[in-house]
Structure 1
């Protein structure tokens, strides 16, 4: 697989190099030099999930890794399903929360962990990442106990749900968590600053597990194929996909799936009040506002890191801009969408509700709509119970951590203090 840096095109790497480096020169994102669409999508969609996913990833990676190696990586990573749950006769939720941390990021994090464990060949690596909620748990569980890999997770103190925090802050061992006294964008900035600091980057052998890492992004492509495999052939030709969008990795993966030939008709980028992309899509001006705290907190991102990859698809003429709608959903409509879903007999949480509401605003007669369920409703138990007025039972992974003590270390939004902390613990 050949990739290049969107900021510094001369910075060109293989898949293995991109996975190990995470980011390119000048903090640039790596981007595939070409996409080779599948000749027969229907045949591909008839395959079982793991077998098909290995084919999809082989198509991207090429002969850099053998078919046997890719199949083993996928088989070890994708050990849970991604069912398409009907809400009504023309709208479905792609449920991506059946993994160990009950969130879609289990797919990408586990595949990345398998890749790094295989490709690092015993070299020491430090994963440094920021989370607005679900990334932290997925990454922590994916890497927990892997030799020679330490994980440091930054998260905004008090701005993710208590159960979200417990899922990744109670593991210990090679998992280190830091509660930053600011918002998610500040956490991301601290991570970027660390990568720009040669002493830290080289001294600790830094890598990032955010969706900027190409291995995580590639894993996410696979569940869009899985979604379409559960539709009939007529539906497949007329389906639009609504993606709850914070850092925009999930939407990037959906668009990469289309580049490989998956017949997604249109995309909806659904954001909460952090509406940088919807405003940009309407005005052509990129003007991030200060991050706003919302009930869909994993999407509280005002400067999405993955947007340059999506912009590149349009700028290079790979996709037509008409294929994307960008919609911002406020808090009142989020709650209304949760109630509307409950009235349909489907209990959901705020992020999926944002995607559902945006989808219904764009869906046309005769079309099938898929919105992504990115987290189990119980991860946002307090919010869901308050909005719906009904109790939510905790699934086993949350029951196991509910009463455990958080091992997180609080730090101010100060890079020098973070740097000192990193060298103290690693």
Structure 2
């Protein structure tokens, strides 16, 4: 698999190199210029999830990893289901929260951990990543206890739910967490600054597990195929998928699935009030605003890192821009959508509710719609209970960590202090 730096075409990398480096020169994203295409999609969709995922990832990665090795990686990573649940006559939720940290990022996090443990060959690695909620837990649990790999997770202090925070800040061992006194965009910028700093990048063997890492992105392609496999052939003919979007890795994966032949007629990029992309799709002008805090805090991103990959697919002619529309949902309508879903007998948290709202607003009667359920509602227990006025029980993974002590270090948005902290905890 040959990948190119979107900011410097001369900077090329193999799959293994891109996984280990994370970012290319000038903070550029690695991305291929072409993708394999499956001719017989129905035959592929008839396979079980793990077997199908092995086929998809083997075609994407190529001969860099033997197929038997990819099969082992997938079998260890994808140990849970992604059911398609009917919500209304022509609307379904793809539930991606049945993994160990109850969020869609378990797919990418666990796949990346298994890939790195194979390709690192015992060399030390430091995973440095920023999270607006779910990435932190998925990455922490995926890498917890893996030998020779340390993980440092930055997150915005006070801007994620307490249960989200406890899922990844209570593990200890090789998992180090830092609460930054600013927003998620500031956390992402600190991560970028560290990768630009050769002393840190080389000295600590840096790697990023954000959705910018190509391994996480490729893993997410698989559950789009899993969603469509659960529909009838008739329902596949006019399919719309609504994706709750923050950093836009999830939507990028869906677009890759489309390029590979998955029958999707249209995608909706559903955002909260941080609506940089929906405005851009309407006006053609990229004008990020200051990030605002919302109920759907994992989507509180005004400068999404993965958007250049979608732009690249459009510019390279792999995707027709017409198949994508953007839709922003404000706080009031987020709560309305949560109540509408509850009235349909489906309890949802704010992120999925936004995707549902966008889908129901634009879906035509003859179409089939899927919205992505990216997190278990209990991860946003306080918000869900406040909006719906009914108690939400805690699933076991959350109950287990609820009473544990948070082990984070608190730091201001200051790169020099972060750098000093990194060397103190990782070099002693």
Q: What corresponds to 2:268 in structure 1?
A: 268
Q: What corresponds to 1:297 in structure 2?
A: 297
- Equivalence map 1:64-213=2 (5 Å): 64-213=64-213
Q: How many positions carry a matched residue from both structures? A: 426
Q: What corresponds to 2:312 in structure 1?
A: 312
Q: Deviations over 1:236-293 (max 9, x none)?
A: 1111100000000000000000011001110000000000001111111111000000
Q: Which runs of no fewer than 5 residues in structure 2 stay unpaired?
A: none
Determine whether 1:243 maps to 2:243.
Answer: yes
Is the CA contact 2:378–2:395 (under 8 Å) kept in the aligned structure 1? yes
Q: Deviations over 1:345-401 (max 9, x none)?
A: 000000000000011111112000000000000000000001001100000000000
Q: Measure, in 1, the Cα distance between the counterparts of 2:79 and 2:161.
A: 26
Instruction: Tell me the secondary structure at the aligned position of residue 10 of structure 1.
Output: strand
**Deviation, structure 1 residue 95:** 0.2
Q: Measure, in 2, the Cα distance between the counterparts of 1:291 and 1:197.
A: 26
Q: Deviations over 1:188-238 (max 9, x none)?
A: 000000000000000000000000000000000000000001000011111
TM-score by length of structure 2 reads 0.99
Q: Measure, in 1, the Cα distance between the counterparts of 2:237 and 2:52.
A: 20
Q: Considering only aligned residues, what root-mean-square deviation do their CA atoms show, in Å?
A: 0.5
Q: What corresponds to 1:409 in structure 2?
A: 409
Is the CA contact 2:90–2:367 (under 8 Å) kept in the aligned structure 1? yes
**Deviation, structure 1 residue 33:** 2.5
Q: Measure, in 1, the Cα distance between the counterparts of 2:310 and 2:365.
A: 27
Q: What corresponds to 2:281 in structure 1?
A: 281
Determine whether 1:389 maps to 2:359.
Answer: no
Q: Which runs of no fewer than 5 residues in structure 1 stay unpaired?
A: none
Q: Measure, in 2, the Cα distance between the counterparts of 1:88 and 1:281.
A: 29
Is the CA contact 2:292–2:300 (under 8 Å) kept in the aligned structure 1? yes
Q: What corresponds to 1:37 in structure 2?
A: 37
Is the CA contact 2:242–2:359 (under 8 Å) kept in the aligned structure 1? yes
Q: Measure, in 2, the Cα distance between the counterparts of 1:94 and 1:357.
A: 15
Instruction: Tell me the secondary structure at the aligned position of residue 314 of structure 2.
Output: helix
**Deviation, structure 1 residue 39:** 1.2
Q: What corresponds to 1:14 in structure 2?
A: 14
Q: Measure, in 2, the Cα distance between the counterparts of 1:205 and 1:36.
A: 32
Q: Deviations over 1:152-188 (max 9, x none)?
A: 0000000000000000000000000000000000000
Structure 1 residue ranges (4+ consecutive) displaced by more than 2 angstroms after TM superposition: none
Q: Measure, in 1, the Cα distance between the counterparts of 2:217 and 2:94.
A: 17
Instruction: Tell me the secondary structure at the aligned position of residue 9 of structure 1.
Output: strand
Is the CA contact 2:271–2:354 (under 8 Å) kept in the aligned structure 1? yes
Q: Measure, in 1, the Cα distance between the counterparts of 2:295 and 2:34.
A: 38
Q: Measure, in 2, the Cα distance between the counterparts of 1:315 and 1:39.
A: 24
